[in-house]
Amino acid sequence: MTRTITLTINGKKRTDSVEPRMLLIHYLREVAGLTGSHIGCETSLCGACTVHVDGKAIKSCAMFAVQADGRSILTIEGLAAGGKLDTMQEAFWNEHGLQCGFCTPGMIMTAKQIIERNANPSEEEIRRGLDGNLCRCTGYQHIVNAVKAAAAKA
């Protein structure tokens, strides 16, 4: 049994038939071929799968693909689409906001939302905003620096 969904991913419309139980993250990675968003837990605790749905950062392992029907999704692959890095990507690079890089796409999508909601966040606000995303490598400090730097440039 499958259902047909039509949605916009990174500005492009597509239609697919999916099992109703298919998670959005599996759909994005295995059907749409966008492997930039990662799976760290499948239980919505790590945030590696964070993407934007209709402008809001969500954990795509906690949503079914069928729930994204008719919606607009932005993934990490949609950020530097024109060949120019997004301010947040550039800031993560400059500030060494990543090591193994596995949490990074989700971290960047969350970080973008932090500064979209608050143009000048304090360190504490940045840290609270990042709480849904786990990073085991960086100790978060350089990520905090990256978000600060991106906010200053935005």
Partner 1 sequence: MATTITKTETLIGKRIRRREDPRLITGTATYLDDIQMPGMHHACIVRSPHGAAKIKSINIKPALDLPGVAAVFTGNDTEKLGPVPCGASIPGLRVPHHHLLAMDRVYFVGHPVAVVVATDRYIARDAADLVEVDYEPLPAVSDPEKALAPGAPPVHPEWPDNTAFTFHQEGGDVDKAFAQADVVVKERITSQRLIPSPMETRGAVADWKLGDQTLTVYASTQVPHLLRTLLASMLSIPENRLRVVAPEIGGGFGCKIQIYAEEALMGFVSMKIAKPVKWIESRRENFTGTIHGRGHVDYYELAAKRDGTILAIKLKLIQDLGAFHELLTPAIPTLSVLMMPGLYDCQNIRADIVGVFTNCMATDAYRGAGRPEATHGIERMVDILAAELKMDPADLRFKNFVKKDAFPYATATGLTYDSGDYAAPLEKALNTSGYKKLREEQQKARAAGRFMGIGMSAYGEICAFGPSPATPAGGWESATVKIEPTGKVTVMTGSSAHGQGHETTFTQIAADELGVGIDDVLVLHGDTSLVQYGIGTFGSRSTAIGGTAVYFAIQELKEKIKKYGAMLLKSDDVAYANGVCVDNKSGNTLPLAQIAAASYRALKLPPNTEPGLVATFFWEPPNFTFPFGAHIVVTEVDGDTGAIAIKRYVAVDDCGKIINPLLVDGQVHGGVVQGLGQALWEQAVYDDNGQLVTGELMDYALPRASNIPWIETSHTETPSPVNPLGVKGVGEAGTIGCSPAVVNSVVDALSPLGVRHIDMPLTPEKIWKLIQRGGKA
| Number of C-beta neighbours around residue 6 at 10 A | 12
Helix (H) / strand (E) containing 125: helix 123-129
- Name residue 68's amino acid: A
Per-position x/- string for 35-74, each x denoting binding to partner 1 as judged by CB under 8 A, each - no binding: xxxxxxxxx-xx-x--------------------------
Per-position x/- string for 120-139, each x denoting binding to partner 1 as judged by CB under 8 A, each - no binding: ---xx-xxx-xx-xxxxxxx
Find where tokens 């799968």 sit: 49
Asked if 27 touches partner 1 (CB under 8 A), the answer is no
1-9, 22-30, 52-60, 62-70 -> range binding partner 1 (CB under 8 A): 22-30
**What does the DSSP 8-state code read for residue 133?**
S
* CB-CB contact of 71 with 54 (8 Å): yes
Shortest Å distance, C-beta 21 to partner 1: 7
Q: Which residues make Cβ contacts (< 8 Å) with residue 124, sequence separation at least 6?
A: none
36: burial class by Cβ within 10 Å (0-12, 13-18, 19+)? middle
User: 8 or 94, CB closer to partner 1?
Assistant: 94
Per-position x/- string for 67-106, each x denoting binding to partner 1 as judged by CB under 8 A, each - no binding: --------xxx-xx----x---x--xxx-x-xxxxxxxx-
Binding footprint of partner 1 on the chain (CB under 8 A): 19, 21-22, 26, 29-30, 34-43, 45-46, 48, 75-77, 79-80, 85, 89, 92-94, 96, 98-105, 108, 123-124, 126-128, 130-131, 133-144
